[in-house]
């Protein structure tokens, strides 16, 4: 179990379509995400998180939106789940992340990873970057060094490189301890723990051992924590899991979500036999009981709730309020409208 207080946040893909739903343009998507973050803070929700996709009608450039959320709110965490590092310049990203975190007063929780299958063929190459996993991990190492204040380029010394190394600016204190890695396997979770990052695990694992999804994910979390401890990192890392939770309280909810099977699915994705976690749909009291029995939800300190963003702010705010009032207390959560962002444990150094 986690020593951190239980938190819940929403996770939005920011999907939009010109002829469907309440989100019909990119402008709708970013404005509604901002408005939902403001509403979520008022409800008592702890976080607003963005899923980043490229070459799709979804949120793609998180830092301007995160900065706007930081400026419009005062308490909730905001972050990403996750940024695809294949598409990123690590030093430019370090500057953007620091600015967003400074505007938010140190509330940024930044999830990064290799990314997921995408509509583009080698899309990162169109951005000018390589696509292999080793390059992603090297970029991550550079990014983490940069936000930790390490020198990353030699100063100019009369037309040549000097002995002094210059860090990127600005720097935001504590940001380096608020980096998360999106892990899709038990093996990568061990690597995350070794590296000293926090863990994000979604509704998908790129492996299957024929046990229920929540049990496999709880095992993944245990492997991560063991690796963290074995590596000698100080403090207690944070862990988030994502779930699709749709309480049915209206006729519209019933039409949209009433037919969900509420069971795990197994299939092939990205060349691996994968297990997809179940959704939680039904009456709020039924969901509360079932979610309280979810082994991974209990093991994690943060639960991210994927929202059907195309249904608009009013629908999603009402859904989050129902979850906050009638579901989340069953997993040990309570609204903390005055709760300050959690301070990370002090460390002697940041591991890269």
**Residue 34 belongs to domain with CATH number:** 3.20.20.30
pLDDT for 271 equals: 82
Taking the C-alpha atoms of residue 156 and residue 168, their distance in angstroms, rounded to an integer, is: 15
For the chain, what's the residue count? 352
Residue 186 falls inside a structural domain: yes
Residue 336 falls inside a structural domain: no
Residue 114 falls inside a structural domain: yes
Residue 82 falls inside a structural domain: yes
Residue 277 falls inside a structural domain: yes
Its sign, for the CA torsion 287, 292, 297, 300, is positive
Residue 141 falls inside a structural domain: yes
Look at the chain and report how many structural domains it folds into: 1
Residue 1 falls inside a structural domain: no
**Cα 262–Cα 265–Cα 269 angle in degrees, nearest 5:** 145
**Low-confidence residues in the chain, pLDDT < 70:** 1-3, 337-352
The answer to whether 182 and 202 have CB atoms below 8 angstroms apart is yes
Taking the C-alpha atoms of residue 251 and residue 244, their distance in angstroms, rounded to an integer, is: 19
Burial state string for 327-352 with b = 16 or more CB within 10 A and e = fewer than 16: bbebbebeeeeeeebbebeeeeebee
pLDDT for 340 equals: 54
Cα–Cα nearest to 38, from 50, 48, 29: 48
Taking the C-alpha atoms of residue 232 and residue 194, their distance in angstroms, rounded to an integer, is: 9
The answer to whether 276 and 266 have CB atoms below 8 angstroms apart is yes
Distances in Å between the Cα of 107 and the Cα atoms of 8, 25, 71, 104, 267 are 15, 28, 11, 6, 37
Task: List, for residues 224-239, the tens digit of each pLDDT value.
Answer: 999 999 999 999 999 9
- State pTM to two decimals: 0.93
Residue 314 falls inside a structural domain: yes
Q: Which residues constitute the domain of residue 95?
A: 7-152+167-331
């Amino acid at each position: 179990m986690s020593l951190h207080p239980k938190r819940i946040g929403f996770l939005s893909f920011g999907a939009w379509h010109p002829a469907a739903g309440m989100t019909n343009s990119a402008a709708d998507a970013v404005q509604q995400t901002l408005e939902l973050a403001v509403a979520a803070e008022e409800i008592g929700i702890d976080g607003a998180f963005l899923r980043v996709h490229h070459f799709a009608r979804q949120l793609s450039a998180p830092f301007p939106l995160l900065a706007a959320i930081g400026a419009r709110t005062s308490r909730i965490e905001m972050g990403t789940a996750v940024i695809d590092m294949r598409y990123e310049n690590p030093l430019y990203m370090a500057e953007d992340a620091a600015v967003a975190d400074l505007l938010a007063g140190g509330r940024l929780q930044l999830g990064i990873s290799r990314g997921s299958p995408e509509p583009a063929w080698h899309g990162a190459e169109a951005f000018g970057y390589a696509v292999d996993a080793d390059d992603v991990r090297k970029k991550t190492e550079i990014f983490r060094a940069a936000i930790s204040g390490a020198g990353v380029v030699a100063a100019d010394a009369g037309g040549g490189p000097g002995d002094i190394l210059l860090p990127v600016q600005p720097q935001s204190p504590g940001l380096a301890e608020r980096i998360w890695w999106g892990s899709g396997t038990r093996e990568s979770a061990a690597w995350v723990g070794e590296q000293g990052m926090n863990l994000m695990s979604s509704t998908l694992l790129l492996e299957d051992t024929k046990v229920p999804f929540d049990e496999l994910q709880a095992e993944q979390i245990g492997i991560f924590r063991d690796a963290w401890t074995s590596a000698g990192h100080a403090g207690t890392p944070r862990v988030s899991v994502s779930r699709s939770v749709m309480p049915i309280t209206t006729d519209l909810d019933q039409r949209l979500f009433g037919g969900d099977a509420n069971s795990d699915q197994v299939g092939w994705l990205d060349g691996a036999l994968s297990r997809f976690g179940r959704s939680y749909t039904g009456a709020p009291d039924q969901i509360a009981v079932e979610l309280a029995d979810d082994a991974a939800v209990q093991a994690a300190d943060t639960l991210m709730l994927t929202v059907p963003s195309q249904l608009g702010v009013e629908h999603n705010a009402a859904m989050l309020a129902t979850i906050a009032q009638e579901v989340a207390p069953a997993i040990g959560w309570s609204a903390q409208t005055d709760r300050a962002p959690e301070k990370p444990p002090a460390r002697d150094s940041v591991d890269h």
